[in-house]
Structure 1
């Protein structure tokens, strides 16, 4: 299975099953799709047979000898196993479904409350379809104990302090970090703490602890002042841009521009989102993520299918801008353009993604367990609590079998081993089934992968 496309003057061919990327000339590019079809029809892997068949199949502006030379190159790549490679993963899917899983990460909803009123917030300004609440230290301790007890032999564990706005419960964050560190040596574990914040309550004390204890920190900002303040205002309507930018810049610098992201959301209101990324880069941020909003179609800011062409063009524009910055010695890491073409994630992650519902769980302020933060408040996905553990093992088993081969739309998609089947929550919220897909998100993901590979190709010259 191959995927061919042209971008920024490059003819790019991705061999989906091997992960190999080829930048080719016009004749090889034109012949590749024909060869794939001919091989599927049973034409022998012989240069003369393929040349005759290709000449009969298509009218191409090339001489026979040119085609023969190009076909020899194609067959050589095929023999190396980096073109038209077979799918070696699907035959293991039975073993994959029956694999033993352990919990390795928790999203601690340290605060179901927020001091902003972001218009697109899936958490309903921090309430998650329920009541406002702050997690107690005792509940947080039980959550960390649950993680240690259910992590098997895994040493490295992850805990994200999330909300709402976690800094509204800062003392408990501090106390839980201390408690987590106290568990490490005796249990042969190592905690990796992260924090997601809107920055309103960010101060020197917070920065000091974050820099000492947090492996990563996510700083929420949508880009330009007009963009940010339209969608991320205070409850009284005033914008948040002016108060958070100086704090975010200070924190990014204090972390030497590493181990953080400024993370934004673009909506139908700012389809020129590459300008927001550029604005953040011009402010000095080097780790940036600006992601498409996921919203009900009736929301005025929701992205629609008719927006796709413009959004695709915007991603192309962004890719070129980031490429120019890198060549000028001012590199910016854009989260959705970061792909590893040499190593990449392990097989389990390639097939099933984030591990929600199995290896990754969300914990509410009162200790309830859900498959991930986006399912919190949907009672049909309540899996248990930190006192009793996971009692709805049927939900766990359902998520365990969710993979790129359980989704019909993923099977023939070139991006399946990069997105790992997409977000289960988005699939459920739009299609009522975690084994379906969020179609608009898939279109944008495919485009992002194309742009990311183009950047790699350009930098390899």
Structure 2
């Protein structure tokens, strides 16, 4: 189990059952010794501050919770690994453009081309990719495609034609495709907006926050800032669809560790669905996050939690992606063990039709899987990703968050340590803090703290 305090509340999270308990000071202190120590031993340690009756009653309540499977529950997950069904591909990140109209400093795609040539996907390649997905998805009736780049709107005519083709091909196969488009919004015209809305397509838009923060990291080709055009287009777009079916996503860096200010700034603009992600950069980069930033970053999540709850109470709510947590049901066991499914359930396709485990591995020859024409040619690489679950990650074995974070991002782990099974420490620390804040928000919203 995991004990933590937040805003004066003492909270206990039971790892195996997912149960959450708010406890008083006596129970909190007893949990430092129980269940290893007997009631008599606990009484000897705490007897000068609490009566025997108080201690025994608190221990009885803990034992009852344990009996009900709500505390120190038996962990069924390891034994359930063999129940996982054979993976099928259910989502494809379609790189329709390996080019971009921005030159973001932290871009993992090398400002667009992913280490190769600046190029756009041909429609025929995109059709082959859709055919591959529909076939590789087996009996799944719903699959997903994310139009990605670079900047996918540089290739908008192909995107438009591929959606029409995908809907027709999926219907013929007895399936449906959910489409998403990720864009920096600079090319987002009113005509494109209308089409996206008519297609009811989910959209992820990039904005880092305050003007000076955004312009420092996301300049145009000529070095000028992109903030004003970006924010004008984003606000027009989100209002055109009644604030539904989108996320505005930012990236925070070591140059702006006070990232909560950027989330609050964007919420003040009227953006309702927000996410900001920590940058992953080489240590020598001036924008990289370092261990020295960690205390402030953790404090920023607490600051954001307070503001999130305040705005809920005052009728000005916004959604923050990392505070979305379902404590009652949540993802299935296989999802909690393996995470995003990169490399076996989720693949990326470059403009030439080459397949990779996810968008962050595109261009890395060591992670080439095959092509949309030939299919997956490296089943041993697929197996590596299937086996990169929390029980094969030594540092995850005793981590309280293992069933909530699934061992972290494969790409971040690989880029920081050169190995899928070695978690990225900074990412772990930030994820655990986000989870504590999300748990607190659930309790606060339910009136339990």
Q: Mark yes or no: TM-score above 0.5.
A: yes
Count of residues in correspondence between the two structures: 447
Q: Is the 8 A contact 2:134 2:170 kept in 1?
A: no
Q: What does 1:225-374 align with in structure 2 at a 5 Å threshold? A: 225-374=211-360
Task: Write the distance in 1 (CA, Å) between the matches of 2:191 and 2:48.
Answer: 68
**Candidates 208, 220, 240, aligned match of 1:222:** 208
Q: What does 1:100-139 align with in structure 2 at a 5 Å threshold? A: 100-139=86-125
Q: Is the 8 A contact 1:370 1:384 kept in 2?
A: yes
**Candidates 45, 52, 71, aligned match of 1:64:** 52
Task: Write the distance in 2 (CA, Å) between the matches of 1:60 and 1:306.
Answer: 41
**Candidates 162, 172, 175, aligned match of 2:158:** 172
User: Is residue 8 of structure 1 aligned with residue 7 of structure 2?
Assistant: yes
1:151-192 CA-partner distances (Å, limit 9, x unpaired): 111001000000000000000000000000111221011000
Pairwise CA distance, 1:197: 0.3
Aligned to 1:45: none
1:292-329 CA-partner distances (Å, limit 9, x unpaired): 11111111100001111111111111100111000111
Change (3 A) 1:273 1:148: same
Aligned to 2:396: 410
Q: Is the 8 A contact 1:219 1:261 kept in 2?
A: yes
Task: Write the distance in 1 (CA, Å) between the matches of 2:170 and 2:371.
Answer: 23
Pairwise CA distance, 1:104: 0.4
Pairwise CA distance, 1:262: 0.6
Pairwise CA distance, 1:58: 5.6
Q: 2:144 is paired with a residue of what secondary structure?
A: strand
Aligned to 2:25: 26
Task: Write the distance in 1 (CA, Å) between the matches of 2:240 and 2:32.
Answer: 50
Q: Is the 8 A contact 1:111 1:135 kept in 2?
A: yes
Q: 1:234 is paired with a residue of what secondary structure?
A: coil
Normalised TM-score (structure 2): 0.98
Normalised TM-score (structure 1): 0.95
Q: Is the 8 A contact 1:262 1:287 kept in 2?
A: yes
Moved >3 Å (runs of 4+) = 56-60
Q: Is the 8 A contact 1:195 1:214 kept in 2?
A: no
Aligned to 1:438: 424
Task: Write the distance in 2 (CA, Å) between the matches of 1:259 and 1:374.
Answer: 24
1:261-310 CA-partner distances (Å, limit 9, x unpaired): 11000001111111000000000011000111111111110000111111
Q: 2:433 is paired with a residue of what secondary structure?
A: helix
Q: 2:139 is paired with a residue of what secondary structure?
A: coil
Root-mean-square deviation over aligned CA pairs: 1.2
Task: Write the distance in 1 (CA, Å) between the matches of 2:32 and 2:165.
Answer: 58
Q: 1:210 is paired with a residue of what secondary structure?
A: helix
Aligned to 1:93: 81
Q: 2:106 is paired with a residue of what secondary structure?
A: coil
Gaps of 5+ in 1: 39-49
Gaps of 5+ in 2: none
Task: Write the distance in 1 (CA, Å) between the matches of 2:355 and 2:264.
Answer: 39
Moved more, 444-453 or 57-66: 57-66
Change (3 A) 1:63 1:452: same
Pairwise CA distance, 1:57: 4.9
User: Is residue 155 of structure 1 aligned with residue 154 of structure 2?
Assistant: no
Task: Write the distance in 2 (CA, Å) between the matches of 1:37 and 1:120.
Answer: 49
Aligned to 1:387: 373
Q: Is the 8 A contact 1:295 1:303 kept in 2?
A: yes
Q: Is the 8 A contact 1:286 1:331 kept in 2?
A: yes
Q: 2:247 is paired with a residue of what secondary structure?
A: strand
Q: 1:173 is paired with a residue of what secondary structure?
A: helix
Q: 2:33 is paired with a residue of what secondary structure?
A: helix
Task: Write the distance in 1 (CA, Å) between the matches of 2:35 and 2:366.
Answer: 45
Pairwise CA distance, 1:417: 1.0
Moved more, 111-120 or 23-32: 23-32
User: Is residue 426 of structure 1 aligned with residue 403 of structure 2?
Assistant: no
